Structure formats: C-alpha cells, structure tokens
C-alpha cells in the first residue's frame, strides 16, 4: 500500500511538472507538455537545456509550486526562462487550417534551429505535449534519426495523440528527408572541401555541412562547390541544395547547369533527380522551369509511375514556399497512387491538395477523408487555381509565409487544441 501511494505521488508530481517528457535525442532534443517553474528548473539543471521552443499561442503563466494543481499564478514563461539564461523562442501554432502541421515559415525555421549545434540542447513544448510537440518530434525522427515513417507515427500516436489529423499525417508520410552521402561520397566530399575546414576536418556529415555553411559566400567555397558540380559527382546536387539559399548567389549557375543535365537523364539516383527538381524550382531560369513542368506533364500520360517522376514530384513538393505552387497544378491531374511504401495509400493529386492547403492556409476538409472527399478537394484546388492565375507564374524562390505573433494574455484554457481533431 505504501508503495502504491508512493507511486501515485510520484506520478502526480511529474504529471504536474514535466508531463509527457521524453528524451528524443540526449543532448539535442527533448519534448514535453507545458512545464512548471520547477519543470523548467529541472530541464536546465538536469539536461542543460539552452533553448526552449514554445509552440503555444500565448505566453502562459507557469505553475510555481511542486504540487500545484490549481490555477497557474507564477511567472510568465518567457521572462522565467530568459532569467535563467536560456534562449526562449515562441512559434505560435493553433489557428492554422492544417494544424498541427507547421506553417511554411516554421517549416523552414525548424531546420535552421536543428541544424545549428550551438542551440543544443533544445526543449520543445506545447500545452499537452501531444499534437504540436508530437509533430516536431516526428519530423526530427524522419530527418535526423532516419526512422521509417511507420515507426515514427507509432511513437507520435503513443503520446495520447487521439484521432489522426489527415493533412498532418499526409505531410509526414510524404516528407522527403534531405539526402545524406554514402561512404564513397563522404570521402569525395572530404577530398574536395577538406582544405577549407581544416585544421580539424569533421568526420560527421552534419558537422561538414555546418562547417561549409559558415563559408558559403566565400569565393573559395564557391569555387570548390563549382568544381564538385562540374565533376558530376552523384551527391553534388544534394550538397548544392544545402549550401545555396538565394537566387543571386554565385554558385547558382553551375548548380543549375548540373541540375539541367540530371533532369534530362533517364537513369540517375532518386535523390539526384529530386534535388535537380528542387534547385530548378527555386533557382532555375524560366526555360529550365518550363522544361521541368513539361517533364512532369509528359509523364502523366503513362499508366505506371516511373522512378524519375516520383523523385521529381518529391523534389518539387519538398518545400512550402509560394514559388512551388506552379508545380502543384499539373499534379492535380494525376490520380495514380504514389509508389513510396509509406505513402502508397495516397495519389499524387492528393499530395498536391495537401501542399496547397499548407501554403495557402486553406482547409479542404475537417474529417477523415474518403476517396470521394479527396476528389472534392481536388476540384476545390482546381477552382482555386482558376481564380488565382498568378500562382501559375514561374518564378525563383519566394519567402515562406506564416503568422508568428504571440497573442496577448495567458490563454491557458484555449491552448489544448485537441478538439480540432474531433470535428
């Protein structure tokens, strides 16, 4: 009996302080529901957390006592966390049409945050630690841990997630992790760029990318990347996609030249085709972009989905920036099933709808969709394109959009948004 009471007190204590806490990767990322003051103290003292990312609409007041189950009347979170010398970020989520998926702006910022080791360890939280937090943790599993999607979803749903969110799950199942080099390509990368990051060249690819990005606008790095592209290395386009951010950068012309060559190939790796499509969609000339659209449209006439087509679609849908809209419209005509095992229940037209929904913050349906509901959404998307002809215009990279304004007030009673999944 004493043991049972002790367990109940222990469970109740941690449920109040660090509910649904999990180490995603020790020293890198932790997930949790809304911590109390003691919970933040514990995250900083025990796990040395340097960055706190709140996904809530409001900057909430914190519970302040060890077993405080009443109304929160402690410090405001931002002030309390920053007073401990911890960097506090807040990316409000909760009013998006495709909640709990990220806004386009948050999607881009997520990788900037996680790609920078100086931000580690990071603790991410929302109110319940299930939906918004679960989405961020799932993306980490897919991108940084390279988990298969079924394992990723199983973990996400194990945190009392409740009913699935169709749009959110679609984005996760069709997510394209950024390519990583095999051992041969990592050796070639070290040979071509080692002199730029000496005296202690890193052995891990993520460390290489981080080191190279610090030099990305220096002439020596541009020259090395140009040479790497001109050698037509199998991993060259994937590397260029990580190192080029803006259309005016000096490395864009050689990257597009190689992307143009790969686009025309009938035999290439999936990641080379995908990165060729992504680079052309963001940085290509009008002629290059028209050629990419033509390839997508030509393959619609074939009864079976080719590897090249699947890779090109993955490449043009791997971002949520407005310039990618022009490549979604032709996909609305493709009712063939996707060939990726984790996404085979979807058609390519469904993916076009899902991406359009995020970019435009538009709700196409609020229930578990049937084929008929997906078909209705496809027609709604066609209607949208017919009334927004400017979305068909080919252009280079346009900044991602998305509201990032913290609402005034505590708002704790409105922060558990699970009701949105029960419509």
CA Rg value for the chain: 23
For residue 69, the model assigns a pLDDT of 63
pLDDT, tens digit, 9 for 90 and up, residues 285-311: 999 999 999 999 999 889 999 999 999
Reply yes or no on whether the pLDDT at 195 is more than 90.
Answer: no
DSSP 259-304: HHHHHT-SS--HHHHHHHHHHHHHH--HHHHHHHHHHHHHHTTSSS
Reply yes or no on whether the pLDDT at 169 is more than 80.
Answer: yes
pLDDT, tens digit, 9 for 90 and up, residues 211-229: 999 998 899 999 999 999 9
CA dihedral 396, 400, 401, 402 (to 10 degrees): 170
CB 129 within 8 A of CB 156: no
For residue 419, the model assigns a pLDDT of 58
For residue 146, the model assigns a pLDDT of 97
Cβ-Cβ contacts under 8 Å for 192 (sequence gap 6 or more): 224, 227, 228, 231
% of the chain with per-residue pLDDT over 90? 79
Reply yes or no on whether the pLDDT at 5 is more than 60.
Answer: no
Q: Could you check whether the bond before residue 199 is cis, i.e. omega within 30 degrees of 0?
A: yes
For residue 4, the model assigns a pLDDT of 47
Confidence band, pLDDT 50/70/90 cuts, at residue 52: very high
Task: Please give the helix or strand (H or E) that residue 87 lies within, else none.
Answer: strand 87-90
The CA–CA distances, whole Å, from 217 to 119, 212, 214, 230, 316 equal 23, 10, 8, 19, 25
66 or 303: whose pLDDT is higher? 303
Confidence band, pLDDT 50/70/90 cuts, at residue 93: very high
pLDDT, tens digit, 9 for 90 and up, residues 270-279: 999 999 999 9
The CA–CA distances, whole Å, from 97 to 93, 94, 101, 168, 210 equal 10, 9, 9, 11, 34
Please classify residue 288 by burial: count the beta carbons closer than 10 Å to its beta carbon, then call 0-12 exposed, 13-18 middle and 19+ buried: buried
Reply yes or no on whether the pLDDT at 196 is more than 50.
Answer: yes
Confidence band, pLDDT 50/70/90 cuts, at residue 9: very low
Mean residue pLDDT across the chain: 91
For residue 2, the model assigns a pLDDT of 43
| Residue ranges per structural domain of the chain | 2-176+408-422, 188-392
At the top level of CATH, which class does the domain 2-176+408-422 belong to? alpha beta
Q: What is the pTM of this model?
A: 0.94
Mean pLDDT of 2-6: 45
Reply yes or no on whether the pLDDT at 11 is more than 90.
Answer: no
Residues forming a β-bridge with 61? 76
Mean pLDDT of 145-158: 98
Confidence band, pLDDT 50/70/90 cuts, at residue 119: very high
| Cα–Cα distance measured from residue 101 to residue 130, given in angstroms and rounded to the nearest whole number | 12
Mean pLDDT of 247-269: 97
pLDDT, tens digit, 9 for 90 and up, residues 362-385: 999 878 899 999 999 999 999 999
For residue 13, the model assigns a pLDDT of 55
CB atoms within 10 A of CB 42: 17
């Amino acid at each position: 009996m004493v043991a049972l009471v002790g367990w109940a007190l222990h469970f109740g204590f941690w449920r109040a302080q660090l509910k649904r806490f999990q180490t995603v990767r020790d020293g890198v990322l932790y997930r949790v529901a809304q911590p109390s003051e003691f919970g933040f103290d514990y995250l900083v003292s025990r796990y040395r957390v340097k960055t706190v990312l709140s996904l809530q609409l409001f900057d909430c007041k914190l519970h302040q006592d060890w077993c405080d189950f009443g109304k929160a009347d402690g410090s405001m979170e931002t002030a309390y966390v920053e007073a401990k010398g911890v960097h506090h970020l807040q990316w409000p989520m909760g009013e998006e049409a495709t909640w709990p998926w990220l806004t386009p702006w948050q999607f881009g910022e997520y990788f900037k945050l996680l790609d920078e080791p100086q931000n580690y360890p990071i603790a991410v939280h929302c109110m319940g630690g299930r939906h918004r937090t679960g989405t961020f943790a799932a993306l980490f599993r897919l991108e940084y841990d390279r988990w298969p999607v079924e394992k990723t979803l199983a973990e996400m749903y194990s945190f009392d997630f409740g009913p699935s969110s169709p749009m959110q799950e679609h984005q996760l199942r069709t997510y394209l992790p950024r390519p990583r080099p095999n051992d041969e390509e990592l050796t070639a990368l070290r040979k071509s760029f080692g002199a730029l990051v000496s005296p202690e060249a890193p052995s891990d690819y993520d460390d290489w990318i981080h080191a190279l990005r610090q030099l990305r606008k220096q002439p020596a790095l541009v020259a090395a990347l140009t040479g790497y592209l001109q050698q037509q290395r199998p991993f060259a386009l994937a590397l260029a996609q990580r190192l080029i951010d803006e259309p005016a950068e000096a490395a864009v012309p050689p990257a597009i030249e190689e992307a143009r060559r790969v686009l025309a190939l009938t035999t290439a790796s999936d990641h080379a085709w995908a990165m060729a499509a992504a680079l052309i969609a963001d940085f290509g000339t009008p002629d290059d972009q028209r050629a990419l659209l033509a390839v997508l449209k030509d393959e619609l006439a074939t009864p079976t989905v080719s590897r090249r087509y699947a890779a090109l679609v993955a490449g043009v849908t791997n971002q949520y920036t407005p310039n990618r809209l022009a490549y979604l419209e032709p996909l609305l005509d493709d009712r063939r099933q996707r060939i990726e095992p984790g996404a085979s229940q979807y058609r390519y037209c469904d993916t076009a709808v899902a991406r359009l929904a995020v970019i435009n913050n538009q709700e196409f349906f609020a229930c578990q969709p049937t084929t008929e509901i997906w078909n209705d959404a496809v027609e709604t998307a066609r209607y949208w394109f017919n009334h927004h002809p400017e979305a068909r215009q080919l252009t280079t990279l346009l900044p991602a959009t998305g509201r990032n304004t913290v609402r005034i007030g505590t708002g704790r009673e409105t922060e558990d948004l699970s009701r949105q999944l029960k419509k």
